Amino acid sequence: MVPTSATGSLTDERPMRADAQRNYERLVLAAREVLRESGTESSLEEIARRAGVGIGTLYRRFPTRLSLLEAVYREDVDALAVSTTRLVEQEQPWEALEAWVWVLLDYAATKRALFQELVDAAGRDSELLTHSRETVIGAAGLVLRNAQEAGVARAEVEPSDLLRLVGGCTMMGELESEQQKRVVAIVLGGIRAAA
Amino acid sequence: MVPTSATGSLTDERPMRADAQRNYERLVLAAREVLRESGTESSLEEIARRAGVGIGTLYRRFPTRLSLLEAVYREDVDALAVSTTRLVEQEQPWEALEAWVWVLLDYAATKRALFQELVDAAGRDSELLTHSRETVIGAAGLVLRNAQEAGVARAEVEPSDLLRLVGGCTMMGELESEQQKRVVAIVLGGIRAAA
DNA sequence: TTGCAAAACGGAGGCTGCCTCCGTATTGTT
DNA sequence: AACAATACGGAGGCAGCCTCCGTTTTGCAA
């Protein structure tokens, strides 16, 4: 999953230079480590330090905090998309939605930092459509539309509403599992179409 | 509303010294101003600067970021409590709850910074029961219990759930009014007891 | 191989913010 | 008027963000 070019866009002619690629890997590795330890508070300098790389290198490779987070969690984000598809194919629409919310929560629990900044940047920055945002919103849309077409979810709910509700309230501070259950129940209850 | 003693606790014998009181007022004034401009990002140094006061003075008076926010919004928080009581007395239980959510949103809109840190500190710090937290949670409890006793709100919902849902998801970034309406509708739908 | 330009590195440095500490100034009380 | 008690304020230490640019590394081409 290590790209051989910085952007993955169509305009890369050359592969990354060997040292660049090595440092890329080190940075992502260190970032994952530091993020696990310090979450949202993680310092970029600490990450660079841990990676044994100059701060300048970090900034060259990842101009944005978000871009680093994305690199770290890219695989996980893609995995979310995959398991979303599976849910939609194998479960009943409502059950899929229910299950998906829990998948999202579980997912968010280990990716607070990314999620925080992602939801945060949901409104503004709408220019910079990052891979993660597209993917997560896409997943939400898939499972939601599926439920709506089956008539089990209210038609007016939008994917971003789902993210807000599930992500938003969960993202702030920890949530004990009891409260988590209650909150999810409330959200699901509010989304379910009246019988 | 300017206290004549730093803590308001039982142990203050003397009133604040004149200069202390003057600076207190200046600080709160400046803080309100800066908070309006910069929200959560507000810098304490900027506030001190704006107040024409040394940074040391700020820290002596408000050892904690939260304590400053509280001072700024103390009156507003109390006002929330008052209008909560009024709602409960004058409206039907469910209507009161509905209206209260909107009051809370409106309230939160101008007090993002306080709210953010408040909800954030909801779990940990449970020792330090600040005035604001008690007040806000108390208000949520009042309106919620009222609805529950009337049988129009699910019994298992807790006050902090309400804060999480309404505050949490709203607090992250801006929310356009359309989305706000949808999100509130979902939350209320999930709280309402099944008929 | 060797040479060389393109690519990448890395950290110093400028800026800002957090917070503490302590010498100095202001009060108000006797 | 004098003297504690109280309060002030900012220097200074630490850390993080980000940029800029002189130095090093790499890989292609001769």
- Distance separating alpha carbons of residues B130 and B68, to the nearest angstrom: 12
pLDDT at A74 over 60: yes
Phi, then psi, of B192 in degrees rounded to 5: -65, 135
Check A189 against B188: CB less than 8 A apart: no
Which of A157, A173, A176 lies closest to B186 in CB terms?
Answer: A157
Chain A residues near residue B170 by CB distance under 8 angstroms: 168
Distance, in Å, from the CA atom of A41 to the CA atom of A43, rounded to the nearest integer, reads 6
Q: Is the CB of B124 less than 7 A from some atom of nucleic acid strand C?
A: no
pLDDT in tens, B155-172: 999 998 998 888 777 766
Contact criterion met (CB < 8 Å) for B120 and A173: yes
Q: Is the CB of A26 under 7 A from strand C?
A: no
Residue B154 has phi, psi (to 5 degrees) of -55, 140
| Cβ of A20 less than 7 A from strand C | yes
The more confident residue out of A114 and B122 is A114
Name the residue closest to the C1' of C11 by its CA.
Answer: A54
This prediction's pTM: 0.86
**Could you tell me which chain A residue has the CA closest to the CA of B154?**
A186
From the list B114, B112, B126, the residue with the least C-alpha distance to B169 is: B112
Digit-coded pLDDT (tens) for B10-28 = 444 578 999 999 999 999 9
Q: What is the pLDDT of residues B172-195, one digit of tens each?
A: 666 678 888 999 999 999 999 886
Weakest mean pLDDT among A11-20, A83-92, B92-101: A11-20
Confidence of residue B148 (pLDDT cuts 50, 70, 90): very high
Name the percent of chain A lying above pLDDT 70.
84
Q: State the pLDDT at residue A7.
A: 43
Residue A38 exposure: Cα atoms within 13 Å on the Cβ side: 11
Instruction: Determine what percent of chain B is predicted with pLDDT higher than 90.
Output: 64
> Which pLDDT value is given to residue A110?
84
Cβ burial, residue A13 (10 Å; 0-12/13-18/19+): exposed
CB contact under 8 A, B172 and A171: yes
Looking at residue B113, what is its pLDDT?
83
Average pLDDT, chain A: 87
Task: Check if the beta carbon of residue A99 is closer than 8 Å to that of residue A87.
Answer: yes
**What's the pLDDT score for residue A8?**
42
CB contact under 8 A, A164 and B156: no
At residue B49, what are phi and psi to the nearest 5 degrees? Answer: -55, -50
Residue A192 sits at φ, ψ, to 5 deg, of -60, 135
Whether pLDDT at B31 is above 80? yes
Q: How confident is the model at residue B53 (pLDDT cuts 50, 70, 90)?
A: very high
Q: What is the pLDDT at residue A107?
A: 86
User: For residue range B56-68, what is the model confidence (pLDDT) as tens digits?
Assistant: 999 999 999 999 9
Question: Testing the interface with B: which of A186, A187, A188, A192 to mutate, by most B Cβ within 10 A?
Answer: A186
Across residues B91-119, what is the average pLDDT? Answer: 89
pLDDT at B6: 44
Flag whether pLDDT at A1 surpasses 90.
no
DSSP SS3 for B99: helix
Which tokens belong to B186? 């979902």
Determine the pLDDT at residue A122.
55
Q: Is A182 on the interface with B (CB under 8 A)?
A: yes
Exposed, middle or buried: residue B11 (CB in 10 Å: 0-12, 13-18, 19+)?
exposed
Residue range A95-122, pLDDT digits in tens? 999 999 999 988 888 888 887 777 666 5
pLDDT over threshold 60, residue A9: no
CA distances from A57 to A27, A60, A64 (A): 9, 5, 12
Quick: pLDDT tens for A125-155.
555 667 888 899 999 999 999 999 999 999 9
Helix, strand and coil percent figures for chain B, each rounded to 5 = 70, 0, 30
User: Residue B92 above 50 pLDDT?
Assistant: yes
Per-residue pLDDT averaged across A67-90, rounded? Answer: 95
The whole-number pLDDT of residue B159 equals 94
pLDDT confidence band for A3 (50 / 70 / 90): low
| Contact call for A158 and B179, based on CB within 8 A | yes
Chain A contact present for B187, CB below 8 A: yes
- pLDDT score for A184: 93
| Residues B43, A52: Cα–Cα separation, whole Å | 32
Given this model, what pLDDT does residue B172 score? 60
Q: Give CA–CA dist A144/A152, Å, rounded.
A: 10
List all residues 6 or more positions away from A73 whose beta carbon is below 8 Å from its beta carbon: A111, A114, A132
Query: Is strand C within 7 Å of residue A17 (CB)?
Result: yes
- Reported confidence tier of residue B112, pLDDT bands at 50, 70, 90: confident
Q: What is the pLDDT of residue B10?
A: 44
Average pLDDT of chain B to the nearest whole number = 87
